[in-house]
Amino acid sequence: MSVLFSPIELRGLSLPNRIMVAPMCQYSAVDGEANDWHFTHINTLALSGAAMFCIEATHVEAIGRITPGCLGLWNDATEAALRPILASVRKHSRTAVAMQLAHAGRKGSSHRPWDGGQLIPLSQGGWQTVGPSAVAHKEGETAPLELDAAGLARIRDAFVAAAKRADRLGIDAIEMHSAHGYLLHQFLSPISNKRTDQYGGSLPNRMRYPLEVFDAVRAAFPDKKPVGIKVSATDWVDGGWDVAQTIEYAKELKQRGVDWIDASSGGVSPLQKIPLGPGYQVPLAQAVKEATSVTTMAVGLITEAKQAEDIIASGKADMVALARGMLYDPRWGWHAAAELGGQVEAPPQYWRSQPSTQKALFGATTFGAR
């Protein structure tokens, strides 16, 4: 029996396996609105065999976008654009659909990665970013505006409004984006947070704003639906955010009812030194799980079925999330199930693809003709 293909409960959500398609920005929205690219991308990956698909970082206000092409959910138009995409997913797939809610803070106003990914200056159509402190991400860049009380309340309320819109769209779960050097992570890390008020300095102070936003989203999203969070468990910079602080954050989140912690890393400083390698972030998920018993997801260079199975079987994490591996092989879940003796759901239109040696791969299927 494969443990990767064993069920798991996230609050009121029952998943038939432990695989999530990790959120992946597509940089292809217009004014934050999803379009035909998102329709194709999301519907394709809703058939991957993963029990849950997480919609890319979905920004809660326009200046919170990483790039002008980033997805948003801040008005009726951005909500309406997602509706037909979700209707199609629901028609053809039973995968759970999560949405990652995000604010880029000082990493907003960037060019798309394939256009170089650098800051777009105001003079070239960029926008003034905001952050915990007026400290630029990279030397020489325009600094963000330090958020005042009104700005903090506005963004917290924007997360809440987006969570309500997500619920109205039928989204099954929310993943808060508190990783990769974006706004909530910027508050956590002493590298980007130089505040001297109650939101800066000590660890409880640096965690205060992300926890306030988490509480507000949790309260606004239906009780039976899970809310998880993605963290950068370390900045990979001396004197930055690290695993010990992540564990304290995880303990606070656990008290507040977090349903999973997705353990990523990095993104707050160009000085980071990341020890890349297969499953390089698994020990981060493991550390959080061992210290807190919160449900954890491991993410990062997990590409092989056996590797994913071992991560779950050894108890290092409860789920795995795959990003690039899913783009490369959008039926990754099917192929993993075939290799590990698991079962996935496939739409009847594709049942005939079931390999002759894998008669149970798609469960009880029948196919007739005359």
Residue numbers of the site for ligand FMN (CB under 6 A)?
22-25, 56-57, 100, 177, 179-180, 230, 264, 299-302, 322-325
- DSSP string spanning 212-274? HHHHHHHHHS-TTS-EEEEEES--SSTTS--HHHHHHHHHHHHHTT---EEEE---S-TT---
Q: For ligand FMN, give the closer residue by CB, 306 or 324.
A: 324
Residues sharing a CB contact under 8 Å with residue 118, sequence separation 6 or more, in sequence order: 110, 111
Terminal Cα-to-Cα distance of the chain (whole angstroms): 37
Nearest to 218, CA basis, from 172, 178, 171, 160: 160
- The question of whether 182 is a catalytic residue gets the answer yes
Catalytic residue, chosen from 27, 182, 199, 249, is 182
Smallest gap from Cβ 227 to ligand FMN, in A, equals 15
- By C-beta, is 237 or 299 nearer to ligand FMN? 299
User: Any idea which residue has 């390999």 for tokens?
Assistant: 355
Residue 135 neighbours by CB under 8 Å, 6+ apart: 106, 143, 144, 192, 194
Between CA 111 and CA 122 the distance in angstroms is: 12
For the bound state, the minimum distance from the C-beta of residue 285 to ligand FMN, rounded and expressed in Å, comes to: 12
C-beta closer to ligand FMN: residue 277 or 355: 277
What residue has token string 């402190």? 133
Smallest gap, in angstroms, from Cβ of residue 314 to ligand FMN? 19
Nearer to ligand FMN, 113 or 239 (CB): 113
Q: From the CB of 104, what's the least distance to ligand FMN, in Å?
A: 10
Q: How far apart are CA 264 and CA 297, in angstroms?
A: 9
Q: Is 267 helix (H, G, I), strand (E, B) or coil?
A: coil
Give 93 or 264: the residue with its C-beta nearer to ligand FMN: 264
For the CB of residue 77, give the shortest distance to ligand FMN in the complex, in Å: 21
